[in-house]
Structure formats: C-alpha cells, structure tokens
C-alpha cells in the first residue's frame, strides 16, 4: 500500500473539526518523564489532526535506537514508513474499527474513560522488525467528541514473538476498573488471494473437527495432500498449529 493511500485512509479515520490546545497536557507529561526509569516502554503525545508527535519520551531511543528529533520533525509519515508492509492494511483496519466502535457504541459522556490497544511490527535502528503493542488513552476531543489527541504507550517486544494484529477497547466501569468492551483480530486474510479455494475447503472441514482421513474422503484427495494443505495454510497465516487456527476461526467465523 502506497503511503499516499495510508495518509488518505488515516485522515478519513481521524477526520476532525477543530484545533484543541495541548500545552497543559504536554507540560504535565514532560514533568513525569523526567522521573521515569529506562525500560522497554516509551510514550508519545500523538496529534492525529497534524499527523505529528507533540512529545516523545526519553525511552524512545533506548527502545528502538532511533532519533527522537527525527521522529518529531518528520511526524507520522516517518513512523508509518517503518511499520512492516504486511501489517499496514491490518493496522489501518484496526484503527478504523476502533473509531467506528467509539462513534457508534460509546456514549459521548463516557469517551474520556476509554482506552485502546493495538499492535504491529516496526523496524528499529538495526533494520529488525520488533513487535510493538500500542495503548492509547484519549486526552482531547474535537467538537464532535471524536478522540484526536492521545497519550500513547508503546511496549517493544522481541521480534521472535509471534503476534496477530488485534485491536481492543476498554472502558472504566463503576468500580473504576478497565473492562474490555471490544476485541477483534485483523491479521488473517482468508478472504484475500493468499488462501486457495481448496485450502478454504480444508479449513472449513477442520473447523468441524474432521481428521485428515475424513477430509480426504470428503474432498476426494489423498490424506497426504490434505496434510500438505494444512502445512501450507499454517505457513501462509504464520500460525503454529491447526488447533490455533481452528480456535481463532471459531471466535471469528467472518474471516472465512
């Protein structure tokens, strides 16, 4: 996906109608950052209107080896350029789904109590794609109560950790605890060209708990061919076992 397309989609997701002030928020965040220890987590204040980072914490370089000044100067376009190309579409779908959920399912008066989480792979200074889990809490809303300024925490995980791209929304309940009110996975692209029609047939029968022998009889192919399809499916979807595949699809049958 071209980055002009990314900007167009991103602008659509976060389209807003006014320009709020960030001065007080940034002042407090900078004060807090001075006392935080170095760790595998950094945070930023994100401005989706200006496609900018209003503040970047000192841990950014320690986590990724990148120059915070360059990130602040180049903004979100630079950030996007370092997201794994295979994750771009899933990441944008996750952002769009969270925004749609917020606008249609979270009452105006409760949006300040929401918190959002998603993940993606990101290229560090050594050109290694590490996993990043981003949690964003809205700080400022536009005139239509759409979240546009956020405090984003980024946790960096080892590149060998296999993560599906997911998105979730949490809301403070009456006990002042965050409760998950939305979750979805966006990594699997079974509706795309990567999975063949025969592999789809195999997947559907696996969901019904059919064995390779039973699948071979129903599809009139050899058990060896079924096992080959199963291995190819796992490789294409970057998951480790048939059990994981079946469990994921039972939770999200729309992916078929």
* Positions of E strands within 80-227: 114-123, 129-141, 147-157, 166-172, 178-185
Q: How many CA atoms lie within 13 A of 36 on its CB side?
A: 16
Q: What is the DSSP letter of 17?
A: S
CA 169 from chain centre, in angstroms, equals 12
Where does the pLDDT of residue 227 fall: very low under 50, low under 70, confident under 90, or very high at 90 and above?
Answer: very high
Helices (H), the chain: 3-13, 23-33, 59-64, 68-74, 76-81, 88-105, 197-207, 212-219, 223-237, 242-251
Find the helix or strand (DSSP H, E) in which 43 lies. Answer: strand 41-47
- The domain locations on the chain are 3-185, 197-255
What CATH class is the domain 197-255? mainly alpha
More confident residue, 235 or 157: 157
- Spatial distance between the Cα atoms of 134 and 236, rounded to a whole number of angstroms: 25
- Spatial distance between the Cα atoms of 169 and 32, rounded to a whole number of angstroms: 25
Q: What is the pLDDT of residues 30-70, one digit of tens each?
A: 888 888 777 789 999 999 999 999 999 999 999 999 999 99
Angle between helices 197-207 and 242-251 (to 10 degrees): 80
Buried b (16+ CB within 10 A) or exposed e, 70-79: ebbeeebeeb
- Spatial distance between the Cα atoms of 18 and 92, rounded to a whole number of angstroms: 23
Q: What is the pLDDT of residues 86-136, one digit of tens each?
A: 899 899 999 999 999 999 999 998 999 999 999 999 999 999 999 999 999
Domain spanning 3-185: which superfamily?
Answer: PAS domain (3.30.450.20)
28 closest CA partner among 47, 43, 14: 43
Find the helix or strand (DSSP H, E) in which 42 lies. Answer: strand 41-47
């Amino acid at each position: 996906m071209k980055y002009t397309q990314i900007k167009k989609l991103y602008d659509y997701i976060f389209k807003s109608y006014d320009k709020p002030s960030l001065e007080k928020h940034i002042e407090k965040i900078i004060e807090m950052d001075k006392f935080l220890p170095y760790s595998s987590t950094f945070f930023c204040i994100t401005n989706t209107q200006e496609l900018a980072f209003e503040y970047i914490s000192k841990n950014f370089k320690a986590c990724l080896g990148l120059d915070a000044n360059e990130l602040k100067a180049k903004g979100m376009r630079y950030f996007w350029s370092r997201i794994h190309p295979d994750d771009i579409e899933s990441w944008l779908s996750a952002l769009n789904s969270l925004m749609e959920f917020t606008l249609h399912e979270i009452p105006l008066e409760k949006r300040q109590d929401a918190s959002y989480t998603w993940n993606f792979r990101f290229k560090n200074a050594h050109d290694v794609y590490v996993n990043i889990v981003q949690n964003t809490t809205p700080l400022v809303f536009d005139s239509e109560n759409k979240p546009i300024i956020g405090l984003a925490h980024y946790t960096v995980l080892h590149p060998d950790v296999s993560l599906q791209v997911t998105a979730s929304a949490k809301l403070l309940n009456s006990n002042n605890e965050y409760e998950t009110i939305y979750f979805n996975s966006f990594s699997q692209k079974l509706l795309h060209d990567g999975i063949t029609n025969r592999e789809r047939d195999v997947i559907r029968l696996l969901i019904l708990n059919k064995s390779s022998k039973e699948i071979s009889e129903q599809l009139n192919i050899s058990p060896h061919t079924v096992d080959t399809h199963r291995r190819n499916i796992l490789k294409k979807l970057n998951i480790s076992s048939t059990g994981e595949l079946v469990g994921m699809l039972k939770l999200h049958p729309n992916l078929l």
